[in-house]
Amino acid sequence: MRAVEPLDSGRYKVRYRYGVSARTGRPAQKSQTFGTRKEAQRFAQLLDVIGPQRALDQMFEESQLEEIPALDQVAADHIDLLTGVEEGTRLNYRRLWARTWGPLIGGLPATQVTRDDIARATNVLADRYSAKSLKNQRGLLAGVCDRAVDLRYLPSNPTKRLRLPRSKEEDREDMRILTPAEFAGALDLIRPHYRPFVRFLAGTGARWGEAVALEVRDVTMPNIRIRRGLKWSPDNNRRIGPTKTRRGNRTVTLPREVQADLEALAADRPGDALLFVAPRGGPIKHRTFWSDIWLPAVKHLSPRPRIHDLRHSHAAWLLAAGTPPHIVQARLGHESIKTTVDVYGGFLPDAQVAAAAAADAVFGSVPRELD
């Protein structure tokens, strides 16, 4: 291997001959300097093995590659620069990346991420997470890859049209729809102080976070105005913020029994006071309510319903009674009616009966074969 010369500046020089000198007509003397001995020795070795031109090309490619950020850095910038999200959401995204895509493909240069890399990583994650979780993870990765495309690190987004594994049956978390009798039985076991709160959840389909953030001034009989929601940030701080979606801002007409509850709760109280509070005042805490109030009231039911199943039950009751899906959508605050139909379509009354009747109409026009 040719010599590596140390310089007084602390750098290192490698001499080599390349091309022809215009002055002498003989091979031209050239040199390259490097910041470390290791870099100089690598160049000297390349000169001996592949010659000057290819050695120069190789060093140029490697220097260019060093300027390309890893996908981890693109992801960090993408999350930092998101607009319209809360800091808690940003922190959730960072943690999601760190436990999913980061360890698998985050170290790859942003220019070298391929569809095959993502497919292999997806298959690994599919063994650890449900299809619903994997869909959320894919959404984050797609945004990161969009940024890589915008910065011209990638020619196109390799997550596009990537098929995700189907949900495993054991991973599915089915809705638990309470029958009116089951709800009445559970309500009897709820402590009297909390019965108006539970009736409100079941009678409006409001989310937990929306209900506990309501204030007295939100009651405008016979309606309730839902404008806020309780947020849990990753550092376990509670705060009031906007509703989950734009359509989450809504006005819901109250059942008569719930109207009576809220009239009593709102009477002679300041407008900015919380509508639903714990027995000693202050906000209702989810963990305490679940363990001390909800669980004792439903532990006899199988499968045991969650608090959120009151929302599902409300939607199912409405649809079974013939309420149009777009009314249920507005009442629940779904951003799209597709969500309402996809989640609760099976509860639409007479849907299967109507389908059977349509088939009967066809069969009725076809002569029945004689046995």
Q: What is the pLDDT along the chain (371 residues), one digit of tens a residue?
A: 678 999 998 899 999 988 888 788 888 888 999 888 988 998 898 888 888 888 888 777 666 555 789 999 999 999 999 988 878 788 889 999 999 999 999 999 898 899 999 999 999 998 888 888 898 999 999 999 999 999 989 999 999 888 877 655 444 457 888 998 999 999 999 999 999 999 999 999 999 999 999 999 999 999 999 998 887 655 556 677 777 777 778 999 999 999 999 999 999 999 999 999 999 989 999 999 999 999 999 999 999 999 999 999 998 888 888 888 889 899 999 888 877 877 776 665 555 555 566 666 666 555 555 44
**How many domains would you assign to the chain?**
3
> H or E stretch including 66?
helix 52-66
- 195 domain residue, yes or no: yes
> What is the residue range of 81's domain?
71-171
Instruction: Give the model's pLDDT for residue 371.
Output: 44
- 352 domain residue, yes or no: no
Give Cα 1 distance to the centre of its chain: 55
Same domain membership, residue 329 and residue 231? yes
Same domain membership, residue 328 and residue 297? yes
Contact call for residues 225 and 251 (beta carbons, < 8 A) = yes
Instruction: Give the model's pLDDT for residue 89.
Output: 82
- 368 domain residue, yes or no: no
Instruction: Give the model's pLDDT for residue 169.
Output: 44
Instruction: Give the model's pLDDT for residue 367.
Output: 59
- 221 domain residue, yes or no: yes
Long-range contacts of 330-335 (CB under 8 A, 24+ apart): 330/247, 330/250, 331/204, 331/205, 331/250, 331/252, 332/205, 333/207, 333/210, 333/226, 333/243, 333/244, 333/245, 333/247, 333/248, 333/249, 333/250, 334/245, 334/247, 335/245, 335/246, 335/247
Q: Which residue has the tokens 């040719």?
A: 2
- 278 domain residue, yes or no: yes
Q: Which residue has the tokens 């089951």?
A: 182
Give me the helices (H) in 113-164, please: 115-126, 131-150
Same domain membership, residue 77 and residue 62? no
- 354 domain residue, yes or no: no
Contact call for residues 329 and 339 (beta carbons, < 8 A) = yes
Cα(315)–Cα(318) distance, rounded to whole angstroms? 5
Domain edge (last residue) among 66, 96, 112: 66
Cα(267)–Cα(53) distance, rounded to whole angstroms? 87
Same domain membership, residue 211 and residue 259? yes
DSSP assignment, residue 322?
T
Same domain membership, residue 101 and residue 17? no
Same domain membership, residue 331 and residue 188? yes
Query: Computed over its alpha carbons, how large is the radius of gyration of the chain?
Result: 32
Same domain membership, residue 318 and residue 205? yes
Longest dimension (CA), the chain: 108
The number of helices, as runs of H, and strands, as runs of E, in the chain is 17, 8
**Strand pairing partners for 219?**
224
Cα(318)–Cα(13) distance, rounded to whole angstroms? 81
Instruction: Give the model's pLDDT for residue 364.
Output: 59
Give the CATH number of the domain where residue 279 resides.
Answer: 1.10.443.10
Buried b or exposed e, range 244-261, using 16+ CB within 10 angstroms: eeeebebebebeeebbeb
Tokens of 17: 């001959």
Look at residues 303, 304, 280, 276 and name the one whose alpha carbon lies nearest to residue 290. 304
Instruction: Give the model's pLDDT for residue 253.
Output: 94
Give me the helices (H) in 159-291, please: 180-189, 195-204, 208-211, 256-266, 286-288
Same domain membership, residue 334 and residue 198? yes
Give the CATH number of the domain where residue 78 resides.
Answer: 1.10.150.130
- 359 domain residue, yes or no: no
**Strand pairing partners for 31?**
15
Same domain membership, residue 325 and residue 251? yes
Same domain membership, residue 187 and residue 149? no
Tokens of 46: 């390349």
Same domain membership, residue 127 and residue 21? no
Same domain membership, residue 206 and residue 296? yes
- 355 domain residue, yes or no: no
Q: How many CB atoms lie within 10 A of CB 79?
A: 21
Domain edge (last residue) among 133, 148, 171: 171
**Strand pairing partners for 225?**
251
Domain edge (last residue) among 30, 45, 66: 66
